A and B are shown apart, each in its own frame.
Chain A
Amino acid sequence: MFTTILSMIITLFIALLLAIPMGIYLAKAFDYNITGLDKIYEPIEKCLFKIGGIKKQNQTWKQYAISLVLANSFMIVIVYMIFRLQGILPLNPSNIAGMEPTLAFNTAISFMTNTNLQHYSGESGLSYLSQMIGILFMMFAAPATALAVVIAFIRGLAGKKIGNFFIDFIRAMTRVLLPISFVAGLIFIGLGVPQTLDPSITAQTIEGTEQNIARGPVASFLSIKELGNNGGGYFGVNSAHPFENPNALSNLIQILLMLLLPTAMPFTYGRMVGSAKQGRTLFISMAMILVVFLGITLTSEYQGNPVLHDMGLQQGQGSMEGKEVRFGVGQSVLYAVVTTASETGAVNTMHDTMTPIGGMLVLSNMLLNTVFGGVGAGFINVMMYTMIAVFLSALMVGRTPEFLGKKIEVKEMKLIAVTMLIHPLLILGASAVALILPQGTEAISNPGFHGLTQIVYEYTSSAANNGSGFEGLGDATPFWNVSTAIVMFLGRYFGLVTMMAVAGSLAAKSLVPQTVGTLRTDTALFGTILLGTIFIVGALTFFPILVLGPVAEYLTL
């Protein structure tokens, strides 16, 4: 128990040590002024800009937003076609047929929106070509898009020019995603993750039977899956598979990769708006939620399942159903909390099997969608809550709300209010529809209160672009494919566009001089107000559904 807690403290401490330099690096990497980094990257990027037909000119926030939505939509269309036609396209040694339309629709949107909800099985549903130029391509394109958008968003807040989507997109690839994934991929192979183009091998076991072992280019997939907060597994069970996560060290690196970009973002922001303290306040506020959630989840999983306790088996390991021995309860819980906080969606334990309270906490991470959040989109969400907190505080003392020297007025607040409402609306609205229709309720695999949680979890994971699931849910049906695809799409692009509008609108305003009466947004007091806002606005919305699902299950066990 002691070493388990120590291992968590060390893990989170390393994450912190990486977050600060990474944050500064990101601010530099996307700086349009000439920096030292240009020497290394400029020659390659010049060539890529030429091939891509990209001109170095600033865009307005509208042009930026249109570029991002159009580019992503175009990618969805080509990848959809690849999935549909994979049966007749090359690189298909196992003769896998073209994907069914609703499943292809779901999968293309899922990977473009950084969700990676997988209603197919990787081992049998996709050809090599689809895995490479469909899935892997989008695993780069989705976080590159998100990274570009968040940088443009912060530029707007900082009163700078918004920038150019295509330049930021390419820079996200060359300066962040490709180099880190490459190094991490090689480390993973050293730790035992396979990287081979030979598909599977048949072993003659010592009991005299045969075992067919699926393999593949897992390591290259794994590193971008974690770094980009994608989360889609090469194998069906994701990082619970011993090939996709062979030991506690590969587990540690995966956790660090998942946290790297989301935790760096507050520091990038601090540097770009010229106040490191602003960034620190946000980081500490979010880190506090993470640590508290981790503590509660850990306690719940160690207490285990009371039903099993009554059977007279040896106690002490905690709840082991759905977990792997090499991770035990400790590393499984840490991974589950981090993957839902960072909206990655990779899993090393089956979340469906978690104790009711443990399952509720990982669900809450996604319901709040602000505990660091996924690369880019998560931070934009945090900023949304920050502005709500500024607005509420200002109302309480009767002043005009100001943020980073700009007045937040009716136009911005309307946009923010709509953005805030879309998340619960998607989750609760879609869950209600699924509960009414037989196509929805037939998918439930664990009866009782847990069944409700399965449905809510699926839509929450979609809306928050997480991608993990209570995987017992039989969701590979047209109803679930189409409904979650719509939720994923709106959950992704609606908020990105409205918040870009907020940034664009703030950027156009003139600075208000700071006075003694200005609410400071870099203090512990503000951090507390922010946490209060997140919990009151975010959590209360979902309180009833949590009582009916996990809490009721807990009380009736």
Chain B
Amino acid sequence: MERVKRLMGPIIRTSFLIMIIGGVLYPAAITVIAQVIIPDRANGSLIYNGENEVIGSELIGQNFTSAKFFHGRVSSIKYDASGSGSNNYAPSNQEMIERLKESAAAWEKDNPNTPLNKVPLDLVTNSGSGLDPHISPDAAYAQVSRVSEMTGINQQNLIELISKNTQGKELGIFGEERVNVLKLNLDLVELL
């Protein structure tokens, strides 16, 4: 018992010491350096319009519903970035299958010119975060016919826009090719 008592001094003092170093000094130091060197990144890669208002973050997806815009992935939280999440449907979950059937029906109604077998899975599945800013290039190309019809921009221009906004794999190897939906739509707005 005497020995245990002797341990309590170092235990209490070391705990509070690490609490201050790890919990306060460390994040404070990183914050200061980040805000001085790379404030754009450190503040969330925000995109501004001409009037210097924030219109989004290039890393966070947005909920595009109008048929004249390119659409992102399914999001059960409707891209509400004050939180994050998804339904966590197992492959065997009937609710997911129902949701997919609805997505497929909606697709056929809105995109009569593009058959379902041209629709990549990423466009009709829920991303893990509910905030995925990207779709696959194929998912963007599949929407060209609809967007062209709704906006009057010819298909060739849209295809060029997509290819301009396609990011390759990192260092040519890591990750996947992708299109940032918000940036693509921002470019689209300029053509309108």
Q: Residues of A at under 8 Å CB distance from B? A: 3, 6-7, 10, 48, 51-54, 63, 66-67, 70-71, 74-75, 78, 121, 123-124, 132-134, 136-137, 139-141, 144, 166, 169-170, 173, 177-178, 181-182, 185-186, 189-198, 200-207, 209, 211-215, 217, 219-221, 224, 235-237, 240-243, 246-249, 251-252, 304-305, 307-308, 311-328, 330-331, 347-350, 352-356, 445-450, 470-472, 553, 556-557
Asked whether B128 lies within 8 Å of A214 as measured between CB atoms, the reply is no
Contacts of A224 in B (CB 8 A): 22
The listed residue (B69, B90, B100, B120) touching A207 by CB distance below 8 A is B69
Asked whether B43 lies within 8 Å of A198 as measured between CB atoms, the reply is yes
Asked whether A133 lies within 8 Å of B19 as measured between CB atoms, the reply is yes
Q: Does B176 contact A (CB under 8 A)?
A: yes
How far does the alpha carbon of A330 sit from the alpha carbon of B31 in the complex, in Å?
A: 33
Contacts of A133 in B (CB 8 A): 19-20, 23-24
A-B pair count, CB < 8 Å, reads 362
Q: B2-49: which have CB < 8 Å to A?
A: 3-4, 7-15, 17-24, 26-27, 29-31, 33-35, 38, 41-46, 49
Q: Does B57 contact A (CB under 8 A)?
A: yes
Q: B45-97: which have CB < 8 Å to A?
A: 45-46, 49, 53-57, 59-66, 69, 73, 79-94, 96-97
Q: Residues of B at under 8 Å CB distance from A? A: 3-4, 7-15, 17-24, 26-27, 29-31, 33-35, 38, 41-46, 49, 53-57, 59-66, 69, 73, 79-94, 96-97, 100-101, 104, 116-122, 124-136, 138, 169-176, 178, 185-186, 189
Contacts of B129 in A (CB 8 A): 235, 237, 240-242, 324
* Chain B residue at minimal CB-CB distance from A201: B54
Asked whether B174 lies within 8 Å of A331 as measured between CB atoms, the reply is yes
Q: What is the CB-to-nearest-CB distance from A6 to chain B, in angstroms, rounded to a whole number?
A: 6
Q: What is the CB-to-nearest-CB distance from B46 to chain A, in angstroms, rounded to a whole number?
A: 7
Asked whether B7 lies within 8 Å of A51 as measured between CB atoms, the reply is no
Contacts of A54 in B (CB 8 A): 10, 14
Asked whether B46 lies within 8 Å of A446 as measured between CB atoms, the reply is no
How far does the alpha carbon of A324 sit from the alpha carbon of B189 in the complex, in Å?
A: 26
Asked whether B55 lies within 8 Å of A203 as measured between CB atoms, the reply is yes
Asked whether B21 lies within 8 Å of A74 as measured between CB atoms, the reply is no
Q: A194-B45, A207-B62, A350-B86 are in contact. List 11 more A-B contacts (CB 8 A).
A: A53-B13, A71-B15, A134-B23, A201-B54, A214-B83, A237-B84, A237-B128, A313-B124, A319-B121, A327-B175, A446-B93
The listed residue (B17, B23, B94, B117) touching A52 by CB distance below 8 A is B17
Contacts of B8 in A (CB 8 A): 70, 74
Asked whether A308 lies within 8 Å of B100 as measured between CB atoms, the reply is yes
How far does the alpha carbon of A63 sit from the alpha carbon of B150 in the complex, in Å?
A: 75
How far does the alpha carbon of A75 sit from the alpha carbon of B34 in the complex, in Å?
A: 30
* Chain A residue at minimal CB-CB distance from B82: A212
The listed residue (A182, A352, A356) touching B29 by CB distance below 8 A is A182
Contacts of A140 in B (CB 8 A): 18, 21-23, 26
How far does the alpha carbon of A526 sit from the alpha carbon of B54 in the complex, in Å?
A: 61
Asked whether B17 lies within 8 Å of A48 as measured between CB atoms, the reply is yes
Asked whether B170 lies within 8 Å of A248 as measured between CB atoms, the reply is yes
How far does the alpha carbon of A319 sit from the alpha carbon of B55 in the complex, in Å?
A: 32
The 20 listed contacts between A and B (C-beta, < 8 Å) are: A7-B173, A67-B11, A124-B83, A141-B15, A181-B26, A192-B45, A201-B54, A206-B186, A220-B31, A236-B85, A240-B84, A240-B129, A242-B129, A322-B89, A325-B176, A350-B86, A355-B91, A446-B93, A450-B90, A472-B90
